Chain A
Amino acid sequence: AQSVSQHNHHVILSEAASLELGCNYSYGGTVNLFWYVQYPGQHLQLLLKYFSGDPLVKGIKGFEAEFIKSKFSFNLRKPSVQWSDTAEYFCAVNGFSSSNTGKLIFGQGTTLQVKP
């Protein structure tokens, strides 16, 4: 069965600090990986995704993530956070299988609070 673990449930940073949010997944085969963000009062938005190729992927608003297959990880990073990055961040996985069609498995989410 697929599962996703996000290690940090609540992160508090000051503006300009660097961010790294951990995400590990459990699945024996090939995966698609996603980070979504939910700003206060808004719907889930795609930050970035990995399907194949370069394991370092860049997304919107200066975010990037690195897929490390040997560690089953897909950590999200941003070199310098802004107050507007305050939001909840979700890592999600879709395993390559006909039984996983249309099915994303989400981590529990990480609430990021950026202090001005």
Chain B
Amino acid sequence: KAGVTQTPRYLIKTRGQQVTLSCSPISGHRSVSWYQQTPGQGLQFLFEYFSETQRNKGNFPGRFSGRQFSNSRSEMNVSTLELGDSALYLCASSLGTSGTQETQYFGPGTRLLVL
């Protein structure tokens, strides 16, 4: 079974621009969670989508948004980029239907550099 895939793998943007990152979950997985990884803050939860609905959200500003499509693929968007948005953005998928006993499987991430 193919793993979680993320595109693009690397991205360079300038301040003020916006960016869209894509995540394709493992086949059959309906939940997609997004995380931001930085050296200073570590891994932080952004949001989770299930059946095209945002079920949970972390403490990030409204510039960070996401969506999920009917095939469970998910995108996250960051508008008005700031230097501090430079990070590795990770996507993880899980079945989403196992109640609280869910295991998340991670993709390779998209490394975003904001200049």
Contact = CB atoms under 8 A, between A and B. Distances in A.
A-B CB proximity, top 5 nearest: A102-B48, A106-B43, A44-B106, A43-B108, A102-B33
Given A43-B106, A44-B90, A44-B106, A32 B33 contact: no
Interface stretch (B13-21, B79-87, B96-104): B96-104
A65 to B, nearest CB: 15
Given A43-B108, A102-B31, A104-B33, A90 B100 contact: no
B55 A102 contact: yes
Contacts, number: 64
Interface of A: 30, 32, 34, 36, 42-46, 49, 51-52, 90, 92, 94, 96, 99-109
Interface residues of B, number: 27
Nearest to B103: A49
A102 B96 CA distance: 8
B58 interface: yes
A109 B43 CA distance: 9
A107 B44 CA distance: 10
B101 A105 contact: no
A36 to B, nearest CB: 7
Contacts of B50: 101-102
A94 B100 contact: yes
Interface in B9-39: 31, 33, 35
B101 A99 contact: no
Given A90-B43, A96-B100, A106-B43, A101 B106 contact: no
A36 B50 CA distance: 23
Contacts of B56: 99-103
A106 B42 contact: yes
A103 B45 contact: yes
Nearest to A92: B43
A107 B104 CA distance: 16
A32 B107 contact: no
Nearest to B90: A44
B64 interface: no
A53 to B, nearest CB: 11
Contact of A104 (B45, B49, B96, B107): B45
